Amino acid sequence: MATRSQLFAALAVLLAAQAASAKVYVTLRPRLSLMAGYDDNVMLDGRAMDSYGQAIPGLKLDLFGEHDLRLDLDCQAGIARLAHPERFGLSSTAFSSNESCALSTRGRFSPRDTMRFMARTTYAQDPFAIAGLGLLLRPGQSQIFVAKVGLEWEHALSPRSRLDLGSEAQGLAFQSGDPGNGYLLAPYARYVYASSLRSTWELTGREQLFFGVGANPNALAPKGAPGGLLDETHAALGGYVYKLTPYADLSVRGGPLLLTSSRGDRVMPVGRFEIETVTPSTALHLTLIHDLMIGPTTAGPLVGDIAELGWMYEVGHLSGHLRAGIYRNAGVYTQSVGSIGYTGEVAVDWSLTRELKIGIAGLRDARLNDVTIEHQVDRNVVQLRLAWERARFE
């Protein structure tokens, strides 16, 4: 909640400053979604199933100004209720909520300097709001807060080269005292050189600082890692970006990483492969990642492997998306395979009018290799929704 308040305060200051000194154009797009669904594993522990209803109002804001200023803000808040909450030890009048905000902005302050900022936050309460987050959750994690923030400054050194300075931050929190509560800070410096119209080369130096939350730095959290700074990494990464077509890019990044910790030092490779294509009617994104990251199992670094495919389309009145991914979290200092899970979603929408859509979606989250609770972490959700979004409001 504090993070969202700070983002809105910063937005208000920015709007006021821009309005006082330059012409600013603001576009608002309010929206509302009404949803009915069925969840076959409500509490993510195999206990029971139930249907539910949900209302999700939201607001999109687009801001344009001088210096190529562009700001996009997209927030929504949902309130939902199970058909039979008393089956799960909840009051018959109990409601669950979830909120999410995404903010991105850029500004060009000189012919050579461009600033970019992005932030995304999501807070959700079980029984069912977490079904679409695609995390390897544990039964009992009934609340979740996810945050990601990034700031980057691009400085052109020449018509072909530039220097990027920036930092990323990620946070993950559950109930108080949960061993998965933690955050990551990752500052970096990147040199970029365009060798041709299609080929771009990169050289990046990156740090990662992993922190635990909710415990004294000199004590162990319950079943978790010590609080405070836990581990630190240093990475030298090379990169190559190739423009396959005017609408498609291929990128490969990777290199060695040195992990330093009180538990010992370790060298490991990290890498990322991406293909992204965007046309007026479709968008496709393929991602393969092997890196250290934070996860819901425990604070501190985990070896994370991600294979994810996303596809969006819009043809006439028909639109929709497909998302599928396989995820693995494993301990850095263990030889075990770790937790492997997958998630998938398919949605189809039909435009009744320019502002009104009706759609159906199916979602699935499941664990692949945990024999002890495999029957629990296995969730299917079906949703029917009616969505309204005003095309433009100034």
Return the closest-CA partner of residue 111 out of 75, 50, 155: 155
Give the span between the Cα atoms of 3 and 247, in whole angstroms.
35
Strand 50-65 vs strand 25-39: parallel, antiparallel, or unpaired? Answer: antiparallel
**Closest by alpha carbon to 184, among 293, 306, 275?**
293
Question: Do residues 195 and 201 make contact, with C-beta atoms less than 8 angstroms apart?
Answer: yes
183-197, 313-327, 356-370: least confident range = 356-370
Q: Which of helix, strand or coil describes residue 85?
A: helix
Query: Looking at the predicted structure, is the pLDDT value of residue 128 above 70?
Result: no
Which of 55-59, 90-94, 297-301, 380-384 is predicted least confidently? Answer: 90-94
Q: Given the DSSP bridges, would you call strands 378-389 and 143-156 parallel, antiparallel or unpaired?
A: unpaired
Domain annotation covers residue 64 = yes
| 178 part of a folded domain | yes
Is the residue at 133 inside a domain? yes
Domain membership flag for residue 303: yes
Residue 373 lies in a domain: yes
Quote the CA–CA distance of 43 and 84 in Å, as a whole number. 13
pLDDT of residue 221: 41
Run of H or E residues at 3:
helix 2-21
pLDDT at res. 269: 96
261 is a domain residue: yes
Backbone phi and psi for residue 284, each to the nearest 5 degrees, phi listed first: -135, 135
- Give the pLDDT of residue 220: 43
> pLDDT higher for 261 or 1?
261
For the chain, how many structural domains are there in total?
A: 1
pLDDT in tens, 274-321: 999 999 999 999 999 999 999 887 888 999 999 999 999 999 999 999
d(CA 300, CA 228): 10
Res 19: pLDDT:
47
Q: What is the pLDDT at residue 25?
A: 84
Query: What CA–CA distances, in Å, run from 42 to 82, 100, 176, 297, 307?
Result: 9, 21, 22, 20, 26
DSSP codes joined into one string, 33-83: EEEEEEESSTTSSSS--EEEEEEEEEEEEEEEETTTEEEEEEEEEEEEEES
Residue 203 located in a structural domain: yes
Whether the bond into 85 is cis, omega within 30 of 0: no
**pLDDT higher than threshold 70 for residue 156:** yes
Cα 119 to Cα 91, 134, 145, distances in angstroms:
35, 19, 13
CA–CA separation, 169 and 27 (whole Å): 29
Tens digit of each residue's pLDDT (9 = 90 or more) over 206-244: 999 999 886 544 444 444 455 688 899 999 999 999 999
Whether 394 is covered by a domain: the verdict is: no
Residue 310's CATH number: 2.40.160
Q: How confident is the model at residue 329 (pLDDT cuts 50, 70, 90)?
A: confident
Top pLDDT among 63 and 157 is at 157
Domain that holds residue 25: 2-389
